[in-house]
Each structure stands twice: as structure tokens, then as C-alpha cells.
Chain A
Amino acid sequence: MSSYPVATPSAAAPSPRRVGRLEPAALAGVMSRDVVIFKRYWKATTFSSVVQPTIYLLAFGLGFGTLLKQIDHVKTIEYIATGTVATAVLFSSAFPGMFNTFIRWQFQRTYDAMLAAPVDVEELITAEILWISLRAGVYGLAPLLVGMLFGLEPNPGMLLVPFIGFLTGFGFAAFGVLIAAVAKTIDNFNYVTSAVLTPMFLVAGTFFPISSLPDGVRTVAQINPLYHCVQLVRDASLGGLQVADLGHAAVLLAFALLMWRLAIWQLGRRLID
């Protein structure tokens, strides 16, 4: 091992550096690690993000499509493709939020290493959620692209979909981090997957309209953030944006902010003794 190459580290006067909350340099540092990992695994990640919606489109679209020409006054392919955008966003944000967080924190101790560097808990968690939601926004486009192969017509409003996906993904990534922060073991995720995420992705107007549901279930569905994502994506992609969509966007924003703060609070409590 060679000797320490610093000339005179203690001679240099420490430059007092202004530091604040959520510094871009810290966020970029944490995300640079995510980028490195992504470069290694992008094929697998992208494969699943494209194949999954394709399967949904084939199963629901072609399956239902032979029975139904329209769902809720929308062409079946349009209904299913836009619904699948929401499920793609949900899966590509909630699952990495849960699993990546738990693995990096508990098994690999990556977060412990990073927090010894000039990175605060708030920056660490925000950067991780940001990265996941950026990715989710992009992957949210996959179902639309696949849908076009099955006859979905391109629409300029579809350019809004990555932004809707980002906002929704931010909330669900933070939700995943929150779950990871309160989970005792990684097996606990099974409860959340079966009891929360599965009903959430089905009862959101993704593959069938919630208007056909009993009153009680419909009310619950309207609290589901994914329902608001679906509505927004559908209106944007099919050229039907209206004032009510501002309400959907507001719900998604509120959900994202709430989950973000809860995730920082809960995981922060466990990262810092």
C-alpha cells in the first residue's frame, strides 16, 4: 500500500462551505450511483417494462377486444393501453421503492456508507425517489408504444404522459420507501403486494370502469391515487383533457408530497440512531 499522497492537508485552511437542505450536488452524487447500476441492468429492467404491458395488452386487449368494441365509451385498445400505463408506473416505482431501499439499507449497508459522506437523510431518500420516478415516467410510455402496434392512435397529449408518470411514480416510490422503512423483514412486502398493490392496480379504472362497481367500492377506488393517474393519462392520451383533470393532478401531487415526507420521517428514524 503506498503512502498517503497529500502534500499538506492540514496546512490548507478549511474553506467554509455553505451547505443547505436538498443540495443538488448531494442529490446528483446519490443518483450517480443509481445511474451506474442502471447501466449494468438496463436490459433486464427495460425488458420487463416492455414485455409486461405487451402481455396485458394481448391478454386484456385482444381477449376483451373480441367481446367488447368499447369500454366506457372508449375503444378497448385505447382503454387498456392507457390503463396499462398506470400499472407500469405503479410497478416500476412501488417495487423498487420497497426492495431497493430495503436491500441497500439492510443488506448492503450502502445508505450507511453514504450518510458518512456529506449527504443528509433527506437528500439520500429524495434522490432515490427522484431516480425511480424519472425512470417510471419514461417506462410509462412503453404501453403506449406497444399499444400503437395494436392500433392505438398517436396523440400529442401523450407527450404529457412521462410527466404524469413521474408525478405518480414519485408518490408510489416514496410509498415503497415508507413500507421498507416499517418492514421488519423483506417477507413483509408480501402483505403489501397482495393486500394493497394488487387491489390498487385492478380497482383504478385500469381495465374496467369503476362506475360499474358497487357504491362502497367505488368510493374507495376514488381515493386510490392510481385512479387519478389513469384518468389523467387517458384524458391526455385520447385528447380529452378537461378542467376535472386539474383535480386529478392535485390529488397526485398531494399524494406525492405526503408520501415523500412520511418516507423521510420514517426511514430517517431508522437510519439515524
Chain B
Amino acid sequence: MTEEAKNELRAGASAPAISLQGVVKRYGSIVAVDGLDLEVAAGVCFGLLGPNGAGKSTTMRMLTAQALADTGEITVLGYELPRESKQARMEMGVVPQLDNLDVELTCRQILTVFARLYRLPKGERAAAVDRALELANLLPRADTIVRELSGGMRRRLLVGRGLIHEPRLVLLDEPTVGLDPQVRQELWSLIDSLRERGVTVLMSTHYIEEAERLADVVAVMSQGKIVAQGTPAALVRAHAGEQVLEVYGPPARLAEASAIADRNGWGSRRSGPALAIMRAEALNGEAPDGVRRPANLEDAFVALTGEEIE
């Protein structure tokens, strides 16, 4: 983060990079986004965490005015949407979840087209393209047709395309879904370096680990609404406590442990082969035997949404 951005944040004077108020989006009888209030401060990496179908992608599309809210107000980088969406789009970069690269073009051709679409002056385009190729680690593949690239390369090209105009705000929709661990790590360090440079990042994800590792602030989205928001650590403390007690055993034993938890009003959930009881630090003598471990964001997430996640 730059000194200026830090100062702005400290002073609390900085206008939010993104603000949504009372946003509703319906598709027929389906309510995809249901009264969403969300504020993303400038210079942070903000994680929008939620299960599939929570409304994350719809929210992302509304930020580029590719979906229009039925009600509510949206501003992006101080621009009112959808009226001033084109100005907002000039200053933000988008990395979509679905690969929408031009398969017939080479990496360089795609980036050159987007350098134009983002209105880079003629004299700066070639340099911007080279920079994006380098960023995406695709310099040796610059003149390869996209169809011949691997999945990881294509995702990196999508990222390079979204960053070609050095935006102040980057929207990443499920940036690492379906990638192998090594490519995921690469992308994570890239996102991290964006934040360090003061770029505001809004990232939707359904990977807990991704949100936990990268996001300064996480908002948990469920059924079109934000159900909780805070730093990952604060969310964990507030919704899962400090420790979780994991009870292992045959189904009968787990059912018994579950009954004990219910009787005492302890939050619990099935976690794979075990029963996990929240706030283990505050249990009484009735607590069954088990293994204690630190609570994590997944515990908080399940407590909040009632949904298991990958």
C-alpha cells in the first residue's frame, strides 16, 4: 500500500472504492441479490465469500453494469452506476470467472485489442502489452494462439488482460477456481502484490483458504445478502470462538455427542467424519472427549451460512 493510501485509510477520509446500498436483483422469480449493502474501502483486498449461488457473480456483474440492479444504489470509484459506468470501467479491471478469451487470437493480439479498448494512447500500447505479458508470465508465449494454451496460462492471460491499463480497482471473480495448486499460489502472490501497491481488490471466492490468506476484510454472502463482515480473525472469533472440539467415532457416538451439544446450546456441525463443537474454550464438564484445534474461517462460515463448503 502506498503511503498516501495508508494515510487516507488512517484518517478515515478516503471515500469507499465500492458502495452498494439496498441492492436487489431478480431474475424472474429468483432473487439473486436481496437487499445487499456493501462497502469496500480504497486500498484493501476485500473477499466476498459465499457458497455457489449466493449472488457473488451477479454482484460482480452489477459493478460493471453488465447486470442492472432492480433497486438500490451502486457507486464505483465515486461514479454512479449505471449512469457513469463507462467512466468506472475505464479505471477498473475485471478478471471474469468464465474464460472469455478470443481463442482465435494470440496473446499479444488480445492484449493489443484491450489496450485500445481501455484507451491507452497509441505510443504506450506496445509497452503496456509487454508489461501485461510479463506480468502473466507469458512472454515466451506472446505469439501463441490462445486455443493452444493450457488452462493455467489462459487464466494468467485473463489476469494480464484485466490489468493492462493499470487499474485502481480490480474485480476478480473466483480467480483460482479449477486451477492446480501451483498456479493458484502464483495468482495469490500476484493478488498480494496488487494490494501492496495500493490497488483495491474485490475478490469473490468460495475457497475459504483463499479468503483467509488474501483478504483484509471478508464479507460472508448467503442467499443474496451479507450475513457477516470483518477481518478473517474477527469473524472466526465472533462466530466460532477460539477453539473447536472435534469428536471422532462411530455414528452412534457422534449422534450422542450431537445431542449433548444441542442440550447445552452449543453450536455444532458435522465436519467430515467428525462432529465439530464450536467455542470449545467455554464448554462444561459434559463435553465429550475429542481433539481440540483452533477455530478457523470455515467453522465461522458454516456457522453463518449453514452450508458446507469446499
A residues sitting closer than 8 Å to B (CB atoms) are 1-11, 14, 16-17, 19, 25-26, 28-30, 32-33, 36-37, 40, 108-110, 112-120, 271-273
Contacts of B68 in A (CB 8 A): 272-273
A-B pairs, top 3 by smallest CB distance, nearest first, are A109-B100, A10-B198, A273-B67
Q: Does B86 contact A (CB under 8 A)?
A: yes
Instruction: Please report the C-alpha to C-alpha distance between residue A28 and residue B283 in the assembled complex, in whole angstroms.
Output: 67
* Given A116-B89, A117-B89, A273-B61, A10:B114 Cβ within 8 A: no
* Given A1-B135, A1-B136, A4-B194, A33:B102 Cβ within 8 A: yes
Count residues of chain B with CB under 8 A from any CB of chain A: 60
Choose among B65, B87, B166 the residue that contacts A16 (Cβ–Cβ < 8 A): B87
Instruction: Please report the C-alpha to C-alpha distance between residue A109 and residue B109 in the assembled complex, in whole angstroms.
Output: 17
Instruction: Please report the C-alpha to C-alpha distance between residue A113 and residue B87 in the assembled complex, in whole angstroms.
Output: 16
Knowing that A6-B166, A36-B105, A116-B89 touch, tell me 11 more A-B residue pairs with CB under 8 angstroms: A2-B137, A4-B190, A6-B199, A11-B4, A26-B117, A30-B117, A113-B101, A117-B94, A117-B118, A273-B25, A273-B67
Contacts of A117 in B (CB 8 A): 89, 94, 114, 117-118
Q: Does B212 contact A (CB under 8 A)?
A: no
Q: Does B71 contact A (CB under 8 A)?
A: no
Tell me whether A108 and B166 are in contact (CB under 8 A). no
Instruction: Please report the C-alpha to C-alpha distance between residue A11 and residue B198 in the assembled complex, in whole angstroms.
Output: 8
Tell me whether A28 and B91 are in contact (CB under 8 A). no
B113-145 interface code vs A (CB 8 A; 1 in, 0 out): 110111100000000000100111100000000
Q: Does B163 contact A (CB under 8 A)?
A: yes
B residues sitting closer than 8 Å to A (CB atoms) are 2, 4-5, 25, 27, 42-43, 58, 61, 64-68, 77-78, 86-87, 89-91, 94, 96, 98-105, 109, 112-114, 116-119, 131, 134-137, 156, 161, 163, 166-168, 186-187, 189-190, 193-194, 197-200
Tell me whether A115 and B199 are in contact (CB under 8 A). no
Instruction: Please report the C-alpha to C-alpha distance between residue A29 and residue B116 in the assembled complex, in whole angstroms.
Output: 5
Tell me whether A118 and B90 are in contact (CB under 8 A). yes
- Nearest opposing residue in chain A for B109, CB measure: A36
Contacts of A5 in B (CB 8 A): 131, 134-135
Choose among A4, A10, A25 the residue that contacts B119 (Cβ–Cβ < 8 A): A25
- Nearest opposing residue in chain A for B139, CB measure: A2
Choose among B64, B91, B156 the residue that contacts A1 (Cβ–Cβ < 8 A): B156
Instruction: Please report the C-alpha to C-alpha distance between residue A1 and residue B191 in the assembled complex, in whole angstroms.
Output: 11
Tell me whether B66 and A273 are in contact (CB under 8 A). yes
Residue in A1, A32, A112 with the greatest tally of chain B CB atoms within 10 Å:
A1
Instruction: Please report the C-alpha to C-alpha distance between residue A14 and residue B105 in the assembled complex, in whole angstroms.
Output: 32
* Given A112-B100, A272-B67, A273-B67, A32:B163 Cβ within 8 A: no
Tell me whether A116 and B66 are in contact (CB under 8 A). yes
